[in-house]
Structure 1
């Protein structure tokens, strides 16, 4: 298992600012679910906030509305098949964790589970915005805990040396990109 590094909440936006596909995990009572989402982004620094689109028709949405919390899990290339399976099943019909081959692990600050093996986690409490939620399916969450795999995220920056641990970027039809080569431009 990879060593997880606590990420300063004021810098937790760096886990999402490169636009990765995420797995949104949720729970209410004894029920839990996971779904793939390509529309998630950092929103603010202090307190840190994120935005994610969660359609009204999803089981995940029901659980988030019931519990007021969720986790944004950042899967890696090695998990692409599980991400695709999680995105293509209905959580009301099947246990999407079992269906996708993904495993639950406990979160630090919320009841929603984390997805084991991801390269980063953002645990969130919903900031109620009923108009945005109903009209645009847009949920805003305050990040209450953030961690990342120390092999790929350290000192506030991603280092994707391991091909299997590169973040995923979904482009439709079962196709993904993995994050590419990093480079810097001098000032």
Structure 2
């Protein structure tokens, strides 16, 4: 995790704007879990907020409700197999960190593990909205820390040096695609 640089919180939304699959880590009462989540999106700039859909039947939901915090991580293409594995198993039935031999460290601002080797991290505190959580499984959270691998995200932009360092997007049935080629468009004068 040597190449991590802080991302200004007002720019944290740029880490999620391209809609990648994510890993969500959480911990409560000494029990930790990691799950895959595709339904995560930026919500606001200042303070930065995001939305996360957490089905009421997931083990992570129980931990997030207990702790009030979680971490969103952006895995790379080289972590697609891990992403599928943690998204296809139940943390209430097994310790995914042990079962899949997941290297991990600790979050900087919240009480949760972080999966080593991810491209970016957003540490979050839940903003309690019981109606949204119960009716829609929708969690609103404030981003309290954001950092990314400077080799793929710097100066507010994603730039992928190789195929294995791209963010991934889950379709279904084990099918992913990697983020494509970036290009710039100059706004035409009116």
Aligned pairs (5 A) from 1:1-187: 1-187=1-187
Aligned length: 187
Deviates more, 1:96-105 or 1:164-173: 96-105
Deviation at 1:101, TM superposition (A): 3.5
Kindly state the Cα deviation for residue 162 of structure 1 after the two structures are TM-superposed: 1.7
Partner of 1:84: helix, strand, or coil?
Answer: helix
Q: Structure 2 stretches of 5 or more lacking a match?
A: none
Aligned-pair Cα RMSD in Å: 0.9
The question of whether the paired residues in 2 share the 8 Å contact of 1:47 and 1:142 is answered with yes
Q: TM-score, normalised by structure 1?
A: 0.98
Aligned mates of 1:50, 1:100 — CA distance in 2: 28
Gaps of 5+ in 1: none
TM (normalized to structure 2)? Answer: 0.96
Q: What is the deviation of 1:114? A: 0.8
SS in 2 for 1:91: coil
Q: CA deviation at 1:185?
A: 1.4
Q: Secondary structure of the equivalent of 2:60? A: helix
CA distance in 1, matches of 2:8, 2:28: 27
Cα distance in structure 2, aligned partners of 1:144 and 1:67: 15
Larger-gyration structure (1/2) = 2
